[in-house]
Amino acid sequence: MLIISFLIALLVYIAFSIYFLLNPVDPIYHLLLPSSLFLIAHLVGASVSTFRVGLLSLRGKLFFGMASGYVFFAIGVFVYLFFRSELIFYISFYIATLFMIAYVLYEAFEYTKRGLTLDLSDIMQIITISAFLTVLIIIIVLYTYSFDKRIYFNAILILLGFLLIIFILPAVLMHWGGIMGFEWLAIAIGSFILLVSNILFTAYLSNSNVIFLKIASYGWGIVGLGGIAAFVFGEVGR
């Protein structure tokens, strides 16, 4: 059943992509792609964490936190698509990212209680990656964004996405070399795609460049599809 859920989500991504490629629709409807996949990711993650893994386990808590984030991502995109409410979009994405940050920090705290720690080289890697991400974010913003009254809302959204990646890195390094390290690395990559997609969508809001809207939609779609894959194969493979 879980494999079928992933195949359905993959089919949704492919079907929407082909339809948008072959039909000249209003670019705003590209948001149907990520909103649908975010919703599917929430349903799959919630069911896996509740009925398959169990909410008392660390893995179950992480899956539930991710699923909770996905439902708010879906709400934010759906509301903007049908009602053009930027305020609800921002609030929903803030809540979604904070949910994920909270659960990632909880996981990291539990890992340290179990004896997993970071050494000096790990800390230096986190600092180096943080500096690289900071420069990259600044470059993307400067080349895409038209500064406007939304700058404070967008700055908070970008900062939260940045913090999510940074807080995931300790878990990646703590488990590096094992299957858990690979899984956390996949989550970090998904969080990076989410961050870039967020930046490009805010750029669209600032200058109405539909190219940024389309790229953000496909990027968010990949994040939703990746989340579904994590829930499905993370459970099936165990």
Q: Which domain holds residue 189?
A: 2-236
Contact 181, 125 (CB under 8 A): no
Residue 1: pLDDT band with limits 50, 70, 90: low
Tell me the per-residue pLDDT of 54-81, one tens digit each, with 9 for 90 and over.
888 888 888 898 999 999 999 999 999 9
The CATH number given to whatever domain includes residue 67 is 1.20.1070
Give pLDDT tens digits for 25-49. 999 999 999 999 999 999 999 999 8
Whether this prediction's pTM lies above 0.85 is answered by yes
Angle at 231 between CA 225 and CA 235, to 5 degrees: 145
Q: Tell me if 198 sits within 8 A of 157, measured CB to CB.
A: yes
Q: Alpha-carbon distance 132 to 79, whole Å?
A: 34
Q: How far apart are alpha carbons 77 and 220 in whole angstroms?
A: 10
Q: How far is it, in rounded angstroms, from Cα 80 to Cα 29?
A: 11
Average pLDDT, the chain: 92
Per-residue pLDDT band at 237 (split at 50, 70, 90): very low
Q: How many domains does the chain fold into? A: 1
